[in-house]
Amino acid sequence: MDAALAAHTACVWEVLARKVGNVHPGAGFTNLTYLDFIHSAGALMKALVECDGVGETILRAVQLRREVTPSNTNLGIILLLVPLAKSENREQLETLLASLTVGDARFAFEAIRTASAGGLGTVPEQSVAVEPTMTLLEAMRLAEDRDRIAKQYVTGFADIFDFGVPHLLKAFEHFGCIEAAILDCQLRWLAEYPDSLIARKCGMPTALEVQILAREALTDNGLSSASGRASCVRLDASLRSDGNRLNPGTTADLVTACLFIALRENKLKTTDPFPWLVTDWL
C-alpha cells in the first residue's frame, strides 16, 4: 500500500478501536474527541505527500495538525510514521536513520515545541528548548532510556518489527477482525513495556503498576474469555480515573506504527473486517 494512505489508515484504525484508556468514538477526554485524531490523520497524510526530508516532514505534519485541532493528538505517531514512510523496508529504514542530520534535529525540535508536548520536563543535554548541536539520531539516543519512541530510532524500530507487528498479526489471525487485533496488541505492549507517557506524567512506579494490571488482564486467555474481558474493562476504568492522566498514549503511538507496517506490507488490508462484535466490551 502507498505510504501516505497506509499512514492515514493506520491512524484512523487506531482511534476507532476501543482501546483501554485511550480516546475512541465511545470515550473522549476534556476538549478532545476521536474526530480530532481523524482530522490529524489527514494532516499527517498531507505532510507525507508534500515533503521529502524526515525533519521537514515531522515539522510540517505538526503545523498542519495545528490547523485542524489545537490539541497535541499525534506527535508520537508523527515521529514514528515519518521515517517508516520515507523508507521502503527495514534495511532502508536503518540507512535512513543513520543519515539523519542536525538539520533534521532542528526541524524535529521545532515540531516538538510547536506541538506543546506534555510531560517533557527538563533534561541536562540537548533540550528541545534550544538549538540542537547533534543529529536527530544522536539526540534520540540521549532519550532512549526514558522514551520508548526515541528508543525505536536507536534500535532501528526493533520493538515494532520484532514484537509489536508479530503480536498484531497473530491476534488478527486469532480474532479475524482488525479491532480485536488492535486491542490485543495494545494490551501486550502495556504488559511488556511501561508506557512512556504515563511515566513522564505520573512517574515510573505508576507506569509499572499499569504494566502489572495489563499483565493480569491478559491472564485467563485475555480478550478471548469473558473473565479476561472483564479484567480489561476494569483496567480501562482505572486508566480513565484522575482526569485521564493514565492515558497510555505512547503505547497507542506504537500500535499505530505496527498497523502502518502491516498495511504497507499488505499483511492487513482495508477490506479486512474491522469491528469486534462482542457485547461485553466497554
By three-state DSSP, how is residue 32 classified?
strand
Residue 200 near residue 207, CB atoms below 8 Å: no
The predicted structure's pLDDT at residue 242: 85
The torsion angles phi and psi of 27, rounded to 5 degrees, stand at -155, 120
140-176 per-position pLDDT tens digit? 999 999 999 999 999 999 999 999 999 999 999 999 9
182-218 per-position pLDDT tens digit? 999 999 999 999 999 999 999 999 999 999 999 999 9
79-117 per-position pLDDT tens digit? 999 999 999 999 999 999 999 999 999 999 999 999 975
Nearest Cα residue to 231 out of 269, 273, 282: 282
pTM for the predicted model, two decimal places: 0.95
The predicted structure's pLDDT at residue 122: 43
Q: From the centroid of its chain, how far is CA 89?
A: 19
Task: List the end-to-end C-alpha distance of the chain, in Å, as a whole number.
Answer: 32
Share of the chain above pLDDT 90, in %: 91
The predicted structure's pLDDT at residue 117: 59
What domains are there in the chain, each with its CATH number?
Answer: 3-264 (1.10.4200.10)
Residue located via cell numbers 480516546: 23
CA angle 140, 21, 266 (to 5 degrees): 65
Nearest Cα residue to 54 out of 115, 1, 101: 101
Residue 125 binned pLDDT confidence (cut-offs 50, 70, 90): low
Distance CA 195, CA 42 (A): 26
How many CA atoms are closer than 13 Å to the CA of 86, on its beta-carbon side? 24
The predicted structure's pLDDT at residue 220: 78
The predicted structure's pLDDT at residue 121: 41
The predicted structure's pLDDT at residue 126: 52
The predicted structure's pLDDT at residue 146: 94
